[in-house]
Amino acid sequence: MINESDLEAWSYYNEAYKEKMSMDQYQSAAAKTAIYKSEHSILYPALGLAGEAGEVANKVKKMLRDGNFDRHAIAAEIGDVLWYTAALARDLNVDLHDIALGNLEKLYDRKSRGKIGGSGDNR
């Protein structure tokens, strides 16, 4: 649960990381706002991630339908996606930095082999 020391820490994080924050710093700061039960680890953030990704898609869909582009609303939903991604990574005991770096290595390897397009995990 969030307590007074967490709220005091937010003031510190808000000022200390306002300019630039590493992925691992974000993951650590975000963990202080997680209030789900430990027996729901992995499952809770995975379901939340799917739901928030759906909300991003829904905002973009409405943009197509209505013609109103709301960059800030989409960015806010992406922030929720990031939070759930950080929580899921934490529950899996993996650093966001390592996930991001591994993903870039995979993509650059595919690009160098001319396999960036197409589908499937083993390209």
List, in order of start, the domains of the chain with CATH numbers.
Answer: 4-112 (1.10.287.1080)
Q: Kindly report the average pLDDT of the chain as a whole number.
A: 89
pLDDT at 62 over 90: yes
Residues 65-96 pLDDT 10s: 999 999 999 999 999 999 999 999 999 999 99
Burial class of residue 41 (count of CB atoms within 10 Å of its CB; 0-12, 13-18, 19+) = middle
Inter-residue contact 45 to 88 (CB < 8 Å): yes
